[in-house]
Each structure stands twice: as C-alpha cells, then as structure tokens.
C-alpha cells in the first residue's frame, strides 16, 4: 500500500523477521523544502528505530529516535523565528541534532550486530550539508553583520 512518499511493506528485514517497515518510494524527487525533507526523514527514523528496538537495542533506538525526530521539529520552529538571530540559533540546534543522528546511524552502518541503515546515513549526511549551508547563508546575508 502506498502512503504519500512511502511504500508500506510486510516482509522480512534481514534476520529480524517480518516487520512492517517504511521504504522510500524510489523515483520521487527529494522535497525542496528543508522542513518537509526533515519531516520525511523523521518518518523514516521512526520506522528504522522500531527495527533497531525489536532487534534488542532499545537504548540506541531511543537515542536515535530523539535525535532524528528533533531535527524536523527544530527546523519547523526555526520557520517561526522572531529574528534572524533566533532563526540561526534554532537552525544550529537542528544541525547539532543532525550530527548526533549521523553518529548513531554510523554505528548502525559500521556494526555487524545492528540493522543496516538503508540510505539513512547518506540522507543524514546530506542534511548536515544543507543545514550548514542554511546557517552560513543566514549569517552572510545578515544586514547587521559587520563587513571587513
């Protein structure tokens, strides 16, 4: 069954057994909006952390869940910032959470005992680059910034 940009499948996931997992529907372009992209990433993290938790790694799944879902929440909040400084601050928080998410995903990617990330690490890497660019441009385009 196709739901939005996801295809829900009931099939085995490696050695973990049959689970209902979300897989990105290939052929659809990534959303241009960082808020929508981080929201879709959070949905993928939710599905993946369920797999990690059911594989017996509860603490890691909670850390990954908290960091991975807060990226979008902070970016959504940044859209309602009261000033450019507030926007930069909230976006930096989102970038920190993205880096933490990337760390947890790197553990999953590199450990033979954990489920494979299925492209989530690469997406988190891309998100880190996008957030760094957003922050840099917001700082550079600040009319109050002192120019030398």
pLDDT tens digits along 33-70: 899 999 999 999 999 999 999 999 999 999 999 999 99
d(CA 101, CA 60): 11
pLDDT at 33: 86
pLDDT at 141: 85
d(CA 102, CA 117): 11
31-140 falls under which CATH superfamily? 23S rRNA-intervening sequence (1.20.1440.60)
* Residue 83 clears pLDDT 80, i.e. is over it: yes
Q: HSE-up of 53 (CA within 13 Å, CB side)?
A: 15
Contact 74, 111 (CB under 8 A): no
pLDDT tens digits along 90-131: 999 999 999 999 999 999 999 988 888 888 999 999 999 999
Structural element, H or E, at residue 76: helix 58-78
| Cβ within 8 Å of residue 136, ≥6 positions away | none
* Residue 17 clears pLDDT 80, i.e. is over it: no
pLDDT at 147: 67
d(CA 6, CA 108): 22
Q: CA angle at residue 128 from 66 to 34, to 5 degrees? A: 80
């Amino acid at each position: 069954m196709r739901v939005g940009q996801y295809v829900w499948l009931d099939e085995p996931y490696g050695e973990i057994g049959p689970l209902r997992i979300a897989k990105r529907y290939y052929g659809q372009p990534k959303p241009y909006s960082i808020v929508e992209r981080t929201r879709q990433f959070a949905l993928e993290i939710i599905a993946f952390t369920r797999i990690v938790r059911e594989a017996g790694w509860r603490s890691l799944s909670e850390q990954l869940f908290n960091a991975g879902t807060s990226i979008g929440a902070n970016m959504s909040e940044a859209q309602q910032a009261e000033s450019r400084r507030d926007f930069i601050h909230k976006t930096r928080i989102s970038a920190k959470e993205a880096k933490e998410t990337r760390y947890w995903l790197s553990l999953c990617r590199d450990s033979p005992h954990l489920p494979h990330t299925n492209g989530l690490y690469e997406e988190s890497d891309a998100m880190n680059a996008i957030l760094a660019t957003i922050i840099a441009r917001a700082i550079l385009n600040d009319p109050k910034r002192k120019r030398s």
